Structure 1
């Protein structure tokens, strides 16, 4: 059993003895006076949060962008004096998208952090899910699979992949590019990400009497030409949804153009990175629409402009992407949880969970759709924006339809959702 430290200090030893716990504070933790309850990752001067990201692997650009956005938030908060009288520290580890390495790094980080600002990757999140429960550790995960929402310690501060696909197909129907009874294709990456996108595609297809032709690919399958060629055969698809890596996306887009299929493509938020616009296949991106629930890097919203300016001043070398404002937004979410926990007098892991369940309307100054975490198992948001690749814009995405919630997205029941 893990025990929070409720002060004043004079009562500490007796309380711990009654609870059957050691009086030794966990690594990286120091007891606090004045009635504040703490356990892991909180000292008199600091709150430490972890980040398990990747500097290599298929989604490295997303992870790096989110991390830089989080660092912008940390710097802003600390310059203003911190939260609950404490500065925020970010403990960062690179797991290289390797599950074994991620498990080892999690085991080393976990006793020293209050929670995690970032865990990247569906496979890594799935592998660590039970540990998060056992350690009662709240974590923002960058995988947006609603399948992960069975874990009450997982925060997905966005619209999930299944609902992104539902909204994206609704957008194509609204634009007159697909109709009831048509045939559509879906290429999806094996794992939580792709399977969750497929769940949304199947729901929409059932609602609109569409024939869905889907193809599963692995992360090592980079050439999509054969799969797109199959979609050109009878029954020919009218559109293709992509729940893929960015490199698979550009391959599918190139094949779509070279084979003269030229159907509209929609891609989940993880399927695109601005790097694709500066390679030989850049022109193939013309048929792609990207789905997301956070604003693009170059959005005109005041907070987005602040984040973009701070990113440029920080001198980061990487191409900016939509992960930057999203990372800043996750910082604001953690900030509101920490402030609520502080006001409740409980800056322990259980105090963070209490604050999360009290959070019916977390806002991020328009960076992400408003979020409701008070319904365990339910996606916190259901709105999606639509953007198109544009190399002339920093961040590579130009928004063509702001956040919206399609009727089919509103009626959809996610995998672990109850009482809806």
Structure 2
């Protein structure tokens, strides 16, 4: 969810320039008699940007028309469902939640323009897809804006900010857990070669750091294959990995690239286990020609149990989501969106109890959530901005026979290597 369209430095520089230009054109916070500014409401609660006597405004910067359109749609609809249910129960702090959505289509200019447009109007962002875009606004968030951002991205480069909080394992830690699964359950052993196909840019480089660390611990050799998000045919990569004699493959790319890699490998009888990061699978792939191969030789790591998990929260969410959006595909974007919305909601409830719904009050409230359970198998510790909220990963396997198209093959766990790894 954080895949750049150019090399990391070039994209970062271009985004930084865009941030500077857009910030210059919109530098004032909204204030005034509607309560959308610093002040104290009639109920004695301090209010700030995005908060009135009657409403708490949140933003969602999503991708509903670009490379992650399927994910963006699921995340957004789950968050809209959360807002609807919270408001039906009376809201938070006597105020109704309002979620304003902007589709950036995974375009840097649109993403940063949307941030600049909404930032003066909202208390924070319950969604921001695209870690290059989040990283680009990070200096502005940390230096002036200070609004809470919960990105749907898991790059370690986003750690360290008290306002931008990664929910779950970062890509490097997640990849370490994925390699541990290959070692313990798929026959990979010391002396073997491990292939790694990864997107250029922040996502791929962060995942590669994890595979190299895990390989060093286990005595493996990593064979790298760097690709671009526009590369959809993995035939050349499969041929190169076969020639190198790799015994397993990690893929840190998008669902389309993972499906191509597995499909080509199966067709050419290159039958090695393949495991991906959490953003390298979508259940819609099971309806493609690669579907049967994915069910047999593909796994992926996840920061949560799947949408079809047998937990009370998962069962209720599935029923509520299907009632709200009949006929829509179930996927883990729903889990990601619901988890982020619930974390933001809990921070708002704590801030209300502290009588401080300013951005500073909301940020402080979030730091008190050191054992937040969103109902999908992992407990999140949000007290340390320098650390991911968890080092545990769930290993899932595509399976069209279960709701959401994925089943759990390893429960939430952090490998020894993941626990010892120094993030960042």
TM-score by length of 1: 0.90
**SS of residue in 2 equivalent to 1:270:** coil
TM-superposition CA deviations, 1:75-116 (whole Å, max 9, x none): 221111111111111100000101111111111111110000
Partners in 2 of 1:26 and 1:132 — Cα distance? 25
Distance 1:208 1:346, change over 3 A: same
Equivalent in 178, 194, 212 of residue 222 of structure 2: 212
Partner of 1:129: 138
Equivalent in 26, 36, 43 of residue 29 of structure 1: 36
Partners in 1 of 2:200 and 2:184 — Cα distance? 29
Distance 1:215 1:363, change over 3 A: same
Partner of 1:233: 243
- Whether 1:361 aligns to 2:381 is no
Between structure 1 and structure 2, the one with the greater Rg is 1
Partners in 2 of 1:350 and 1:90 — Cα distance? 20
Partner of 1:168: 178
Partner of 1:101: 110
Mapping of residues 294-309 of structure 1, within 5 Å: 294-309=304-319
Partners in 2 of 1:262 and 1:71 — Cα distance? 42
Compute the displacement of 1:371 (Å).
0.9
Partners in 2 of 1:22 and 1:242 — Cα distance? 42
Whether the aligned pair in 2 keeps the contact of 1:254 and 1:284 (CA below 8 Å) is yes
- Whether 1:138 aligns to 2:145 is no
Mapping of residues 194-273 of structure 1, within 5 Å: 194-234=204-244, 236-273=245-282
- Whether 1:395 aligns to 2:404 is yes
- Whether 1:58 aligns to 2:67 is yes
Equivalent in 342, 350, 374 of residue 360 of structure 2: 350
Compute the displacement of 1:359 (Å).
2.1
Whether the aligned pair in 1 keeps the contact of 2:192 and 2:221 (CA below 8 Å) is yes
Distance 1:230 1:353, change over 3 A: same
RMSD: 1.8
Whether the aligned pair in 2 keeps the contact of 1:181 and 1:210 (CA below 8 Å) is yes
Partner of 2:351: 341
Compute the displacement of 1:36 (Å).
1.4
Equivalent in 109, 119, 123 of residue 114 of structure 1: 123
Whether the aligned pair in 2 keeps the contact of 1:361 and 1:371 (CA below 8 Å) is yes
Partner of 1:84: 93
**SS of residue in 2 equivalent to 1:395:** helix
Compute the displacement of 1:33 (Å).
2.3
Partners in 2 of 1:87 and 1:201 — Cα distance? 45
Partner of 1:43: 52
Distance 1:350 1:316, change over 3 A: farther
Whether the aligned pair in 2 keeps the contact of 1:26 and 1:112 (CA below 8 Å) is no
Partner of 1:377: 386
**SS of residue in 1 equivalent to 2:404:** coil
Compute the displacement of 1:317 (Å).
4.6
Partner of 1:14: none
Compute the displacement of 1:326 (Å).
2.3
TM-superposition CA deviations, 1:37-86 (whole Å, max 9, x none): 11111111111110000112222212211112212211221111111111
TM-superposition CA deviations, 1:157-184 (whole Å, max 9, x none): 1111111111111111111420122110
Whether the aligned pair in 2 keeps the contact of 1:326 and 1:368 (CA below 8 Å) is no
TM-score by length of 2: 0.89
Partners in 1 of 2:33 and 2:191 — Cα distance? 60
Partner of 2:14: none
Gaps of 5+ in 1: 1-20, 416-420
Partners in 1 of 2:48 and 2:408 — Cα distance? 43
Mapping of residues 142-153 of structure 1, within 5 Å: 142-153=152-163
Number of aligned residues: 393
Whether the aligned pair in 1 keeps the contact of 2:83 and 2:98 (CA below 8 Å) is yes
